[in-house]
Amino acid sequence: MTNTISDITKESDVIMIIGSNSEEAHPVLGMQLRAAAERGAKIIIADPRDINLTKKADVHLKLRPGTNVALVNGMLHVIIEEGLTDEEFIKERTEVENYEKLKKIVEKYTPEYVGEICHLDPDDIRTAARLYAKAEAAPIIYCLGVTEHSTGTEGVMSLSNLAMVTGKLGRPGCGVNPIRGQNNVQGACDMGAMPTDYTGYQKVHVDEVREKFEKAWGVELNPNPGTKATECFEKMIEGDIKGLFIFGEDPMRTDPDTHHVDRALSNLEFLVVDELFMTETAKYADVILPGSAYAEKEGTFSNTERRVQRVRKAVDAPGNCKQDYEIFTEIMNRMGYEQPHLTSAQIMDEIASVTPSFAGISHARLDGEEVAGNGLQWPCKGPDHPGTPIMHVGMFSRGKGNYHLAEYKPAQELPDEEYPILLTTGRNLYHYNAMAMTDKTPGLMQISPHSYIEINTADAEKLDIKDGERIKVSSRRGTISSEARVSEKTGPGEVWMPFHFLDGNSNWLTIDALDSIAKAPEYKVCAVKLQKIPESEAYTEDGTYITQAMIAEKRNEMYAKQLSVSERCANGEVVSVASSWDDYSTLVNGCSSCD
Amino acid sequence: MISITIDDLKLQVEEGTTILEAARQNGVRIPTLCYLEGVNQIGSCRLCVVEVEGMDNLPTACNTIAKDGMVIQTASQKVVEYRKMILNLLLSNHHQDCFSCPSNGKCELQAVCNEYGVYKTTFEGTRVKIERPPKEEHPFLGYRSDLCIHCQRCVNTCNNVSGRRAINLKKTGMFTIIDAPFGENWEETTICESCGNCADACPTGALYRKAGKKYREWEVKKVLTTCPHCAVGCQMYLLVKDGKVVAVEGADGPSNHGRLCVKGRFGSFDFLSSKDRLTDPLIKDRKTGEFRKASWDEALDLVAKKFTEIKKKNGPDSLAGFACSRSTNEDIYMLQKMVRTVFGTNNTDNCARV
């Protein structure tokens, strides 16, 4: 985020939310957005679903998934045409030459043209553009609904264009604010777990940077940028990557096109997984190393506001579990690098010593009276630097703000005759990603126990699907079963699924098309078909209707018995628990194809 | 600025300040029960009454604005007697079976009754007639009307802090009741998000986290930390009893201001002590596919040996290491340092994209 949650929710008169269902994915932000609406801030929502906050919205742009770039260019068109730009800001703070190019690009994005692409009323686009542009202070809040597209980076760039031409950057109540998905995904990027960057976004290909790290670490470093995780899977299938260390991820459940991930992990020569639980991914490992949970360690997380806050040890890890950084230290020493055993606080001191934007951050300071429990927001350039709540005040970090020009491009896989429905996925209020933590809380499983799919009433009627019915959902990559939830929440021809559940996991369906720049998968758009389950398969032998709850129960039983998703039958086929489609009798009786 | 006098202290305060705020800013204690700053300032419990020169009645300090020249007594004989009467009346509708109450030891009513020496009521309660059994069908939350003092903190916390309006005041005949959605039909109430911010706000044990029955306030150590779920970075306390996390309470952090959501409050600790936790290194027999327990030395030696072999044979870029976006900065830093220094590759990434 360029700004803080507090200033964008309290000091804004308009709030534009695009591709973020904050009330479920980031509930405590959602609570503060509801309070903002209550105090009178105008709300613009661009989201393909009737999410709860749309009830409080002044404009709801219920756009077709995958058309964000067109929408934002349409808003820019209206703002420029109607003279609602902040000319002074444009002249003083941004690359004026590029602004002229931007004007040319958005010329053709009339509200009518954009309305066609996005399935929107052109007047709603005008209203939204005017509301945002005329506001004294208005933040843009976005989430994975913008980034998880093959054109995700372009979506973000268009939003930054929108903020720049209206001068809504570098002040309270404004900014371009990504709401990061995971507790420390900001930190993971900040800490250099990126193939192109060391800590603090220092580039590996820059000689002086690399030399600095070589000196600090006392070892020669590889000058070639590495491969992004989402592209590594292809390299595993091709045999270019043979050894993999996974620390706390479960790509068998969270990455798109599960069959593809299965092929990749199965083809590795050696896989090590550092985990808390026997996850679907851990089952593929040659060695599993038991690590520690957040409540068992000292450290820090960086939240979506770039705020570094303390994590404190409350309990001991069970059994022979080790601190994760200890595990890495041990491996480093065994592979010939003399890494001293440090405490978490000492590691942060080392981070500060090699990272200019973290130079003023230490555990002692975070625990001290000066910080008073408020954390420190990077850039924090020295022990006396107070941190940076709002970025780009007075000047952009690169000097003049640049416009990135982006044309609308359709998603990689659009509905067609065979797969006529557009699937988009997301998080619900009660679970967190692959549920490694939330499925251990019985109450959460009681409230939200199994897979479901939201279907528009018109589509359901056409297919004779009733609310609560278990149906078959297929894409070119897999088939799953899920429970139909019929409403007007999604648009006609569009369905939405949560990505959490072991039963009916949407990632058997999703496509591994990647954003051309950031390499994020296009989770938000792929083509599927919905089918009623034939009578012959809908009931058990004793005539009981098979519900999705029953499927979930069987699946979870198998999970508890630690049967792997990758169980294979004698023919080498991925079957029973392994197959994405859950035929109930297979779940109960095991694989029948090899009998 | 205006001038006022509180208990013989001559003070200057901002115009628009309430008597309670003026007193607190200057270290004068006025007891409160229903008051929650910025959330519930309705003067319903009347415990914060004060005596103001020239006024016949006793105004409630929490919602009476201080006026220039006011002379205020916060602990006069009249005020103290009035407060004792209030507590006596409150207790008439409050079951004092503190042994079974999850708030025993942290109950604000208990504390203030103790302060004023009011240990039992001399009145017969009026609400006894309409008391209902506890509502505890909800997985996480419960409500006992016989402990409720109708302060409305929960109602206004749900309205103003969580922004849901799931808890309401209702009338049944001549009585007012608090309608908390934790009873038999809890599943039908889609408004309640089960965040439990109401339970943190309750001054007694009327609206409570069911997990609160597993410990007593004085048995737990509270550890301030950051929530492990989404990236809002809510601050919270882990409540630890006998080496186990038994509950979570919201803390006043810069991004959450005391709030938590259902996942943070209820989904952040059961997994820690789950029987499914991996507790030993495991090595897989490639032939049978079965895992067996191993010592750390054996497992780590094997990891180092295999990665070294692959690196020697196929070059450093045939190795990769992914970091966990759920773990700490310090762990992640060391992971990428391991990949870069000993694997010898920049093939390191995290789950930012997935």
Residue A150's pLDDT is: 86
List strand residue ranges (DSSP E) for A421-517, in order.
421-426, 452-456, 470-475, 478-487, 494-498
Residue with tokens 């309070």: A35
Residues of chain A in contact with residue B284, where contact means CB-CB under 8 angstroms, are 285-288
Task: Give the pTM.
Answer: 0.94
Measured distance CA(A149)–CA(A68) in Å, rounded: 9
Q: Which residues of chain B have a pLDDT value below 50?
A: none
A242 touches chain B (CB under 8 A): yes
Contact A440 B339 (CB under 8 A): no
Contact A243 B318 (CB under 8 A): yes
Contact B326 A247 (CB under 8 A): no
Query: Rg of chain A's alpha carbons, rounded to an integer?
Result: 25
Residue A581's pLDDT is: 60
Question: How many angstroms separate the CA of residue B89 from the nearest CA in chain A?
Answer: 35
Q: Is the pLDDT of residue A577 over 50?
A: no
Top residue of B136, B261, B322, B330 to mutate, by most chain A CBs within 10 Å, is B330
Give the nearest chain A residue to B308 (CA atoms). Answer: A335
- What 8-state DSSP symbol labels residue A533? P
Contact A275 B300 (CB under 8 A): no
Residue B126's pLDDT is: 84
For helices A324-334 and B329-338, angle between their N-to-C axes, nearest 10 degrees:
20
Contact A190 B351 (CB under 8 A): no
Residue A571's pLDDT is: 47
Measured distance CA(B80)–CA(B251) in Å, rounded: 33
Please check whether residue A28 is in contact with residue B250, taking contact to mean a CB–CB distance below 8 angstroms.
Answer: no
**How confident is the model over A266-294, as a mean pLDDT?**
95
Residue A561's pLDDT is: 66
Contact A315 B244 (CB under 8 A): yes
Same fold, B2-75 and B216-277: no
Peptide bond before A379: cis, by omega within 30 degrees of 0?
Answer: yes
Query: Could you tell me the two tokens for B210?
Result: 């069911």
CB neighbour class for A399 (10 Å; exposed up to 12, middle 13-18, buried from 19): exposed
**pLDDT by residue (tens digit) across A171-205?**
999 999 999 989 999 999 999 999 999 999 999 99
Question: How many angstroms separate the CA of residue A80 from the nearest CA in chain B?
Answer: 33
Measured distance CA(B287)–CA(A346) in Å, rounded: 43
**pLDDT by residue (tens digit) across A96-149?**
999 999 999 999 999 999 999 999 999 999 999 999 999 999 999 999 888 888
**How confident is the model over A472-486, as a mean pLDDT?**
93
Q: What is the mean pLDDT of chain A?
A: 91
Residues of chain A in contact with residue B301, where contact means CB-CB under 8 angstroms, are 334
CATH T-level assignment (fold) for domain B97-107+119-214: Alpha-Beta Plaits (3.30.70)
Residue A565's pLDDT is: 46
Q: Which domains does chain A have, with CATH numbers?
A: 5-178 (3.40.228.10), 185-226+291-377 (3.40.50.740)
Measured distance CA(A271)–CA(A47) in Å, rounded: 39
Q: Who among A6, A190, A438 is closest to B254 (CB)?
A: A6
Please check whether residue B47 is in contact with residue B35, taking contact to mean a CB–CB distance below 8 angstroms.
Answer: no
Q: How confident is the model at residue A594 (pLDDT cuts 50, 70, 90)?
A: very low
**How confident is the model over A359-388, as a mean pLDDT?**
96
- Point out which residues pair with A473 in neighbouring strands: A480, A530
Residue A567's pLDDT is: 52
Measured distance CA(A422)–CA(A527) in Å, rounded: 5
Q: Is the pLDDT of residue A569 over 50?
A: no
Question: What are the domain boundaries of chain B?
Answer: 2-75, 97-107+119-214, 216-277, 282-353
From chain A residues 317-376, the ones with a CB under 8 A of any chain B CB are 318-325, 327-332, 334-337, 339, 344, 347-348, 350-351, 373-375
The CATH superfamily label for domain B216-277 reads: ADC-like domains (2.20.25.90)
Number of cross-chain residue pairs from A and B with Cβ atoms under 8 Å apart: 471
Q: Which of A213, A240, A214, A57 is nearest to A131 (CA)?
A: A57
Domain B2-75, classified CATH 1.10.150.240, yes or no: no
Query: Could you tell me the two tokens for A227?
Result: 């491969």
Helices (H), B66-129: 77-92, 108-116
**How confident is the model over A467-493, as a mean pLDDT?**
94
**pLDDT by residue (tens digit) across A18-37?**
999 999 999 999 999 999 99
Q: Who among A189, A337, A429 is closest to B350 (CB)?
A: A189
Question: How many angstroms separate the CA of residue B189 from the nearest CA in chain A?
Answer: 11
Measured distance CA(B294)–CA(B86) in Å, rounded: 66
A468 touches chain B (CB under 8 A): no
**pLDDT by residue (tens digit) across A298-344?**
999 999 999 999 999 999 999 999 999 999 999 999 999 999 999 99
Q: pLDDT exceeding 90 applies to what percent of chain A?
A: 77
Q: Is the pLDDT of residue A576 over 50?
A: no
Residue A575's pLDDT is: 42
Q: Read off the amino acid at residue B15.
A: E
Q: Which three-class secondary structure state does DSSP give residue A15?
A: strand
Residue A573's pLDDT is: 46
Question: How many angstroms separate the CA of residue B61 from the nearest CA in chain A?
Answer: 25
Contact A195 B341 (CB under 8 A): no
Residue B72's pLDDT is: 96
Contact A318 B235 (CB under 8 A): no
Measured distance CA(A73)–CA(A125) in Å, rounded: 10
Estimate to the nearest angstrom the gap between the alpha carbon of B39 and the chain centroid: 15
* CA-to-CA separations, A178 to A156, A157, A170, B150, in angstroms, rounded: 9, 12, 15, 41
Question: How many angstroms separate the CA of residue A536 from the nearest CA in chain B?
Answer: 32
Measured distance CA(B21)–CA(B330) in Å, rounded: 42
- What 8-state DSSP symbol labels residue A496? E
Measured distance CA(B47)–CA(B30) in Å, rounded: 9
Top residue of A182, A215, A275 to mutate, by most chain B CBs within 10 Å, is A182
Measured distance CA(B1)–CA(A6) in Å, rounded: 28
Question: How many angstroms separate the CA of residue A327 from the nearest CA in chain B?
Answer: 8
Measured distance CA(A516)–CA(A503) in Å, rounded: 31
